[in-house]
A and B are shown apart, each in its own frame.
Chain A
């Protein structure tokens, strides 16, 4: 890769000549007047701006490439995080969506209790004072358990739609709801004790 040539100097001599003039204008005394120093500083500043902005060097290209790669990486990471969080949140959303519940589930007081307890859990988890000492592993395990039970309930629900007289599927839903309720209640009791 070749380095592009310097840009042509401006008609009035440009910042480089301005620097030379400013140096030449410096008096011979040990402490030059304040306006001379300010002229020198302005000239140096203009020179440095010229070399940084107007010279598209190898380093600048590398920097641009690095920035692009970093941006692509960040975008990919963001996409992964979004997909993961959406897939994780889906069962919870499903739990809160009454439309997927079977008619008998809507009549089951356990379902309302579980939904209330799930809301309590979410509120407690986001309460920074209450949940300050709750280990992340434990929180994650509870979320995973909720997902596992909700997935199992969905599976039993599908079986019940195919075979409406499947007593085992109906029992499984009831048992799993009871498990969810107990899980949330026990977990919050234990976490509040530590």
Chain B
């Protein structure tokens, strides 16, 4: 018995270093470095199955990729001056890919990711990122942004003409200067903090919606939820035509007193009820011209509006 144990120990002591050595070799991900010449406004499509993908705009007419690949993944790439497709392919068996791709600033960029977290910065052309399970961060001055992640979080901090962002249970966090945006989630919370807000539409089933910022005179705000609560924060001098309906919920809020004088408005006190539906339909703020419309529809959620505090 003792001899068997000793024999077993000897076998283990022989095998263990070999196994550890093999795993160390496997964990050492292969390093990749490659480049392509492209036009300044080229269309570039990048694939990233897993790991981390960073995309950075630079002032050169070329695309460069560098970083490490997970075991089981290989690098591919090819195309022409006006269009290039590159990225990793295969299934990662060990380690994780970490890739940095530098593209011309004005590129039209498309990224498709499986579970990779994607971070895009410094690209001014159009950006379209689709991820199944990864988080997506996009930042910079961008022509237009389209981001979709099924289960990951989406964060956009941009000055842009247009944003389309969609997720199911991830968070949508949008900030910057936005001309037009359409944001959609199922249960993920949606947070917008922008100066100014142009035309903004938000749809969610159960996600919490929070909008903070100044609505542009030509802007509009349109929010639709089923059960998600809606919270709006405007500067105290915000002009807006409120059209708020909570079918089985409630509406509360506080609006600052007009500059000409008067007392602050308690929105809860001016709610009109039609059956179980709470309704507020009135303008806030002062000044001339058409007030930007703020329309909120919720079935079970609660609406709160705060335009009573001084904000930058």
C-alpha gap A183/B204 in the complex (Å): 12
C-alpha gap A175/B224 in the complex (Å): 10
User: A53 contacts the other chain (Cβ, under 8 Å)?
Assistant: no
Q: Are B169 and A141 in contact (CB under 8 A)?
A: yes
C-alpha gap A134/B245 in the complex (Å): 39
**Chain B residues whose CB sits within 8 angstroms of the CB of A101 once the complex forms:** none
Q: Are A152 and B132 in contact (CB under 8 A)?
A: no
Q: Are B47 and A145 in contact (CB under 8 A)?
A: no
C-alpha gap A135/B113 in the complex (Å): 10
User: A52 contacts the other chain (Cβ, under 8 Å)?
Assistant: no
**Chain B residues whose CB sits within 8 angstroms of the CB of A134 once the complex forms:** 114, 132
Q: Are A187 and B150 in contact (CB under 8 A)?
A: yes
Pick out which of these stretches binds chain B: A7-15, A17-25, A56-64, A155-163.
A155-163
Q: Are A135 and B248 in contact (CB under 8 A)?
A: no
Tell me how far the C-beta of B177 lies from the nearest C-beta in chain A, rounded to whole angstroms.
27
C-alpha gap A24/B29 in the complex (Å): 65
Tell me how far the C-beta of B299 lies from the nearest C-beta in chain A, rounded to whole angstroms.
5
User: B112 contacts the other chain (Cβ, under 8 Å)?
Assistant: yes
Q: Are A194 and B168 in contact (CB under 8 A)?
A: no
Tell me how far the C-beta of A38 lies from the nearest C-beta in chain B, rounded to whole angstroms.
24
User: A138 contacts the other chain (Cβ, under 8 Å)?
Assistant: yes
**Chain B residues whose CB sits within 8 angstroms of the CB of A152 once the complex forms:** 205-206, 226-227, 299
Q: Are B113 and A169 in contact (CB under 8 A)?
A: no
B145-188 contact mask (Cβ, 8 Å, vs A): 1 or 0: 00010111000000000000010111000000000000000110
Tell me how far the C-beta of A182 lies from the nearest C-beta in chain B, rounded to whole angstroms.
8
User: B295 contacts the other chain (Cβ, under 8 Å)?
Assistant: no
C-alpha gap A134/B114 in the complex (Å): 7
C-alpha gap A183/B115 in the complex (Å): 19
Q: Are B115 and A148 in contact (CB under 8 A)?
A: no
Q: Are B186 and A145 in contact (CB under 8 A)?
A: yes
Residues of A in contact, count (CB < 8 Å): 33
User: B247 contacts the other chain (Cβ, under 8 Å)?
Assistant: yes
Knowing A141-B150, A145-B186, A190-B150 touch, does A133 contact B91 (C-beta < 8 A)?
yes
Tell me how far the C-beta of A160 lies from the nearest C-beta in chain B, rounded to whole angstroms.
11
Knowing A138-B133, A141-B150, A172-B226 touch, does A194 contact B49 (C-beta < 8 A)?
yes
Query: Whose C-beta in chain A lies nearest to the C-beta of B113?
Result: A194
Knowing A134-B132, A169-B299, A176-B205 touch, does A144 contact B148 (C-beta < 8 A)?
no
**Chain B residues whose CB sits within 8 angstroms of the CB of A138 once the complex forms:** 115, 132-133, 150-151
Of A135, A149, A172, A186, the residue contacting B166 (CB under 8 A) is: A186
Q: Are A135 and B187 in contact (CB under 8 A)?
A: no
Of residues B113, B169, B224, which shows the largest number of chain A Cβ atoms within 10 Å of its Cβ?
B169
Q: Are A145 and B247 in contact (CB under 8 A)?
A: no
Query: Whose C-beta in chain B lies nearest to the C-beta of A132?
Result: B91
Tell me how far the C-beta of B54 lies from the nearest C-beta in chain A, rounded to whole angstroms.
18
Tell me how far the C-beta of A30 lies from the nearest C-beta in chain B, rounded to whole angstroms.
22
Q: Chain B interface (Cβ within 8 Å of chain A)?
A: 47, 49, 91, 112-115, 130, 132-133, 148, 150-152, 166, 168-170, 186-187, 203, 205-206, 224, 226-227, 245, 247-248, 275-277, 297, 299-300
Q: Would you list 26 pairs from A and B whose C-beta atoms are within 8 A, ordered by A residue?
A: A134-B114, A135-B151, A136-B133, A137-B132, A137-B150, A138-B132, A141-B168, A142-B150, A142-B168, A148-B186, A155-B300, A168-B277, A168-B297, A168-B299, A169-B299, A172-B226, A172-B299, A175-B226, A176-B205, A179-B186, A186-B148, A187-B150, A193-B112, A193-B130, A194-B114, A194-B130
